[in-house]
Amino acid sequence: GAGVSQSPRYKVTKRGQDVALRCDPISGHVSLYWYRQALGQGPEFLTYFNYEAQQDKSGLPNDRFSAERPEGSISTLTIQRTEQRDSAMYRCASSFRQGFLETQYFGPGTRLLVL
Amino acid sequence: EDQVTQSPEALRLQEGESSSLNCSYTVSGLRGLFWYRQDPGKGPEFLFTLYSAGEEKEKERLKATLTKKESFLHITAPKPEDSATYLCAVPFITQGGSEKLVFGKGTKLTVNP
């Protein structure tokens, strides 16, 4: 089957606008993770879900960031009132089972540029 | 503070010149370590999971090993197509009791023909 997909692949927005980034995990994968990756850095954990339940959101930078996975499949990461410092690659990953010892499979990412 | 450190940051090899990449970590009670490969513009691609000290795994020209304090990714007789950034990641339990996967910054490997 298909891997993790993310859309849009690129998003350019003006400062102050809201953006919604979508992640479609591998079918049947229970857990879904959001990361942010700066150039030359490894992915930085933001938040994750087991099924539809958000387990931990302590990695979200501030309250402008939120995520949901209402039906336990597709997830949306929303950034409100975007700022230039939000510009980064946002990556989604999913795993077949719960737990951080499970292999996470990554999507291609959404590159966000805030002007 | 728990962290994952990779060295070197960048490595240039000639085709066929074997070498090793290092991933060191500070965590109490290591439960596992992951190696990923990342090509430019793409998401990380899973390579290996190591669960306990002494464990080794191989895939083509790559071999990953794990000790109590660090992991090595050995590359034997590399080819230009092995050029990529190699990331390691370790699961951590935070002080608040939540869990997350922490990545190193990666080693950018360039193999020249």
- The set of residues, in sequence order, having a beta carbon less than 8 Å from that of B29 and lying 6+ positions away, is none
Distance from CA of B4 to the nearest CA of A (A): 10
* Amino acid A1: pLDDT: 55
C-beta atoms of A59 and B106 within 8 A? no
Q: How many CB atoms lie within 10 A of CB B74?
A: 15
Distance from CA of B101 to the nearest CA of A (A): 7
Torsion of CA B22, B27, B32, B34, to 10 degrees: -40
The closest alpha carbon to A92, from A68, A71, A115, belongs to A68
* Amino acid A85: pLDDT: 95
C-beta atoms of B43 and A4 within 8 A? yes
* Amino acid B3: pLDDT: 87
* Amino acid A41: pLDDT: 92
The closest alpha carbon to B20, from B64, B81, B85, B79, belongs to B64
B12: DSSP letter: E
The nearest alpha carbon in chain A to B44 belongs to: A106
C-beta atoms of B43 and A59 within 8 A? no
* Amino acid A29: pLDDT: 95
C-beta atoms of A103 and B34 within 8 A? yes
Q: How far apart are CA B26 and CA A38, in angstroms?
A: 23
The confidence band for A100, taking pLDDT boundaries of 50, 70 and 90, is confident
Distance from CA of A17 to the nearest CA of B (A): 25
- If you count them, how many residues does chain A have? 115
* Amino acid B33: pLDDT: 95
* Amino acid B28: pLDDT: 73
B96 or A101, which is more confident: A101
pLDDT tens digit sequence for A24-68: 999 999 999 999 999 889 999 999 999 999 998 889 999 999 999
Question: Residues in chain B with pLDDT < 70?
Answer: 1-2
Could you tell me if B67 and B76 are in contact, meaning their C-beta atoms sit under 8 angstroms apart? no
Strand ranges (DSSP E) for B2-83?
Answer: 3-7, 10-14, 19-26, 33-38, 45-50, 56-59, 62-66, 70-75
In the block, residue with structure tokens 């000290």: B53
**Least confident segment among A57-61, A79-83, A107-111, B11-15:** A57-61
C-beta atoms of A107 and B44 within 8 A? no
> Mean pLDDT across chain A, nearest whole number?
95
